[in-house]
Structure 1
């Protein structure tokens, strides 16, 4: 009920009524100040014809369940539905029932008469259930992440399925996930969401849940997610050999492969491409096996696994059959993991061969 300003105190000897109809009876709730405006009471009752006079008379049944007013003129009175016609032919209204014939009045006591001071237009109310009227306790958010660590890009499933609401009949209506990596938050009705952390770093993900009455969680529900740098192995090769040589004489080259790390490299191979007219002499390696492929002018070495800081040396001997400048190039590669630096994967030596 919204009435005139009630600040600093309601008027004395005043009555603020709200009339409504249910079960063929006109009921009322009111706030009364009588002679002392600081001791207001909140009553309820019904109107019925006086058996002697036949005049429609107010019959106070008792106190309303609760009542308050604010200085801005808002009067709130709570009345249990069970108090409406408890012994009559009409059962008390259930939650969702429409209460009609709403009519508000303000009356002042003048002598022994209640004089109508103001009235409001009619309307209707809908009966609310007890859960609606009860205090709404904030829900409790709970957040987990699986997995919560691993190399980037890291695919994570965030779950708020452990969240709960302590109020009877209330439930979690929505989940808002904050990922902590600059991505926009995601609000959804379901408790789980998938997210990818593309870059290495530590991310603080949080969750806020909202219940079916609009109350948000206030607790800190969070989880830290560690996305590490993906494994890598920087392989490097250096080839050394003479700048000059002679036709028919052996020329020896030393090829050194090194793993700069930080991870172990697997499936390491070293290939040396021989120019034409440089006859193959011999090849050896400190690890793995090497063999020439004459038709493709390549010497291939299967080195295998190289740990962090490991070094493998290949010794190659060639016997040129003609004179000229011969450029001999070696290259190194691995099947796993990624090699972050490609500029040091090849090395070459140019030898001038004379008669």
Structure 2
């Protein structure tokens, strides 16, 4: 669309509808571009990997003059690309018949996220330093997942360099998301326990404005017309909530956009917004003038950073309907040793008064050796301790502590405990890893047990009463 730089603001209204049935009204209210482009999609601009939503603005590359000029954003800094239009725009509110013909639901379903968990590479929710892991979750509708790992457990700002934000579009159902162990700045998370907040976005809608030099009134206003259940989202502005981020940033390939700027500072250009970003968690009211930028007219140089703030840029504004917030912890350790305890007994149904031998093994699944390791096996009532033979370390009968000490990754230590069976009641003997260094990330294999039942007829179960089939074949 072109206005010829006539200094007369434009006030069109368009009606987008998302594929999951969220209907919006977008009032541009006072843009003053020369020539510009607007459209709608679910992810806005894409980071340098061509897949991850950017949630920032796109800035033209000054070297693109030979192929259309920066004003057309043929070349974009940092390897950023435009996601294709994915939602229809109407110049009047679409009828129910049109919506049905497009295969779009007439009423949106509120998103719900459940079953968030972190699966570490050491088992459970624990990963080794400088590695990462996998998040799993389930959603009831298709949309965009939003996972934030907080460095301090208090601030869950997805844009904070020390935190990590993972976002992307996924269908409904059970999903997995891979994390490389790094924060937003590209540094690995340190050793510690960290909290994760996650939610799911229904009706996520991005309204990129391409090469829009000026908007002194701060538009567009984006209004959700049909919130699920008639309830507006719990964000600033309610059904007119939205988000933007006009700050410099680093792409996934390590490029700072815009070139020469400092990450977190407002992007280059004349008369930028006084507030360079909305609250990253609760947004801002799109009906306000918070994002006003540029001048009443002019500013069209088509050279990055020399014209009005919106010149030679793609400015993204987005909104969504958030799900419930779900929480999950994750652990990062510098070293770890997964100790697996197993146990067996030489005879589960011995004669009363006979001796049996319990064999306990402690196997180090790694990845690191232990510098200290203890397994506790207290002889229970109904059994009398006779002797103990460890393959390494020492066993103390009174406390039941088997002090193993150093156990190499991949190695196994064995303890044989001989006891006398005193009666016919079942007795269960349990062995448990009670302490180890470094930490054991997997508690599911820390204990094992075996049961013996004394018999007056050796080899028979319970109290020694033989089945009739054995007495009278």
TM-score with structure 2 setting the length: 0.30
Structure having the larger proportion of residues in strand: 1
Higher relative contact order (CA 8 A, sep 6+): 2
TM-score with structure 1 setting the length: 0.38
Q: Over alpha carbons, which structure has the higher Rg?
A: 1
